[in-house]
Amino acid sequence: MDIGQYEKEIKNASSLEKLNDLEIKFLGRNGLINDFLKKIKDIPNEEKKEYGQKVNQLKKDVLRLIESRRKELSGKKSDKFFDETLPGKQYPKGSLHIVSFAVEEITKIFEKIGFIRVSYPEVDWEYGAFESLNMPSGHPARDDVETSFIDAPANLKLGKMVLTPHTSNGQNREMKRVKTPPIRMINISKCYRPNWDATHTPMFHQFEGMCIDKNISIIHLKGTLDYFAEKYFGKGTKTRLRPHHFQFTEPSFEVDVTCTVCRGTAKVNGNKCKVCKSGWLELGGTGMVHPNVLKEGGIDPNKYSGWAFGFGIERVIMMKYGLDDIRNYYSGDIRFLEQF
Ligand code: PHE
């Protein structure tokens, strides 16, 4: 039971693995020290106590030696060259998709002036997409809004199921939800129309603003559009309204904003601006909510008035950054998406 022998072996252990093997050899269940304890039955009774104490002492000493050798070996620097001053590994960081980013930006701009963000179903009935918007079935204006129908049984009252072709389906739902104006809604959702070219993808996003209260006029509409244009496209951006036609607004307009490239001058370095040609870029549709649409939503058009607009998110992003092909947004090409 001489500690010397153990000590020598432990000190000579050249690696942590070898030290672990020694620990098992000495202190394991079938190790040398347990062998001593097993032999206690052959020791005369009067010597048992002293024998036991000796074995326990040996066990403690061996354990202490192993621990101190373990410390030495763990602290030992590897022979391999390692430059501690090298910068750490950079893991790639994800970011929001440009469309998600724009949705957040637009939401914040409108929330600041008291609009409430809502989301309505992206699969709706014909009633929400058309009838409730003053477009009865068979009305030719319905053909202007190319629509994908769902292969599902029609509802007797609400018609066929459609992939929402615009966010205007939120108008009737919001009127029925709030019941009594004021209403200040910003409805953002996916829309679907069967087109595929540089400025159209079959799935896209719109944001629909709607404001209804007593004495709401085009003045408030123009003020809100100017506010949005400055906040989203930058200071000095102006808007203009051009007469247009929608079934669900009267009067109706198309909104233009001053071109983000030539700043409304129609000239770049003395040449005609290639992006807008006129100084203006088209943003989308708007108008005063049609009395029939208010009535259908349970709101008295003699008491209340309001306006609505619907703009494409992919389109405003395109205008803001001067992009020329929206199909890139959904191509999954990381080199394109990483830029934003
Ligand atoms: N829904 C129309 C479109 O998709 C836009 C619009 C919304 C026009 C609200 C007027 C009022 O083109």
Same domain, 59 and 201: no
Which atom of ligand 1 is the closest one to the Cα of 312?
A: 4
The C-alpha atoms of residue 197 and residue 186 are separated, in whole angstroms, by 28
Residue range 163-190, pLDDT digits in tens: 999 999 999 999 999 999 999 999 999 9
**Same domain for 111 and 243:** yes
Prediction pTM value: 0.74
Regarding whether 230 and 300 lie in a shared domain, the answer is: yes
For the chain, the first-to-last Cα distance in angstroms comes to 74
Q: Is residue 168 one of the residues assigned to a domain?
A: no
Residue nearest to ligand 1 atom 7, measured at CA: 310
Closest CA to 111 of 186, 182, 211, 219: 186
Ligand 1: list residues with CB < 6 Å. 166, 168, 208, 246, 249, 284-287, 308-310
Residue 86 lies in a domain: no
Condensed to tens digits (0 to 9), the pLDDT of residues 67-94 reads: 999 988 887 666 678 888 888 888 888 8
The rounded Å distance from CA 168 to ligand 1 centre is 6
CA of residue 191 to ligand 1 center, whole Å: 12
Q: Range of 291's domain?
A: 98-118+178-337
Q: What's the angle, vertex CA 278, arms to CA 272 and CA 283, rounded to 5? A: 130
| Number of domains the chain contains | 2
Tell which residue, 191, 190, 185, 192, has the closest CA to residue 289.
185
Statement to judge: residues 104 and 53 lie in one domain = no
Domain assignment present for residue 130? The answer is no
Q: In CATH, what number is assigned to the domain containing residue 222?
A: 3.30.930.10
Ligand 1, atom 10: nearest CA belongs to which residue? 286
107: its two tokens: 């939401």
Label residues 65-87 b or e (16+ Cβ within 10 Å = b).
Answer: bbeebbeeeeeeeeeeeeeeeee
Last residue of a domain, one of 73, 108, 132: 73
Question: What are the tokens at 19?
Answer: 């030290």
Q: Separation of 101 CA from ligand 1 center, angstroms?
A: 22
Residue 55 and residue 113 share a domain: no
Instruction: Collect contacts of 90-97 with beta carbons under 8 A, ≥24 apart.
Output: 95/338, 95/340, 97/329, 97/337
Q: Are residues 108 and 55 in the same domain?
A: no
Burial grade of 308 (CB within 10 A; 0-12, 13-18, 19 or more): buried
Would you state the pLDDT for residue 77?
Answer: 63
CA–centroid distance, residue 188 to ligand 1 (Å): 13
For ligand 1, the distance from its centroid to the CA atom of residue 303, given in whole angstroms, is 23
Residue having the nearest C-alpha atom to atom 12 of ligand 1: 285
Q: 108 and 32: one domain?
A: no
pLDDT score, position 338: 85
My answer on whether 185 and 309 are in the same domain is yes
Nearest residue by C-alpha to atom 9 in ligand 1: 309
In a domain, 312, yes or no: yes
Residue 140 lies in a domain: no
Atom of ligand 1 nearest to the CA of 166: 4
With the most atoms of ligand 1 within 8 angstroms of its CB, the residue from 124, 147, 208, 246 to mutate is 246
| Cα 277 to averaged position of ligand 1 atoms, centre (Å) | 25
Cβ atoms < 10 Å from Cβ of 184: 20
Edge-to-edge strand ranges of the sheet holding 183-192: 116-118, 183-192, 203-213, 305-312, 280-289, 249-258, 239-246
- The Cα 249–Cα 208 span in angstroms is 13
Q: Are residues 271 and 331 in the same domain?
A: yes
Is residue 80 assigned to a domain? no
pLDDT of residue 323: 87
- 251 and 333 belong to one structural domain: yes
Output the tens digit of pLDDT for each of the chain's 340 residues.
Answer: 788 889 999 999 998 999 999 999 999 988 999 998 888 889 999 999 999 999 999 999 999 999 999 988 887 666 678 888 888 888 888 889 999 999 999 999 999 999 999 999 999 999 999 999 999 988 887 887 889 999 999 999 999 999 999 999 999 999 999 999 999 999 999 999 999 998 899 999 999 999 999 999 999 999 999 999 999 999 999 999 999 999 999 999 999 999 988 888 999 899 998 888 899 999 999 999 999 999 999 999 999 999 999 999 999 999 999 888 899 999 888 889 888 8
Asked whether residue 164 is assigned to any structural domain, the reply reads no
Q: Do 255 and 107 fall within a single domain?
A: yes
The verdict on residue 84 lying in a domain is: no
Our measurement of the distance from residue 250's CA atom to the centroid of its chain's CA atoms, rounded to an integer in Å, reads 36
Domain identity same for 201 and 276: yes
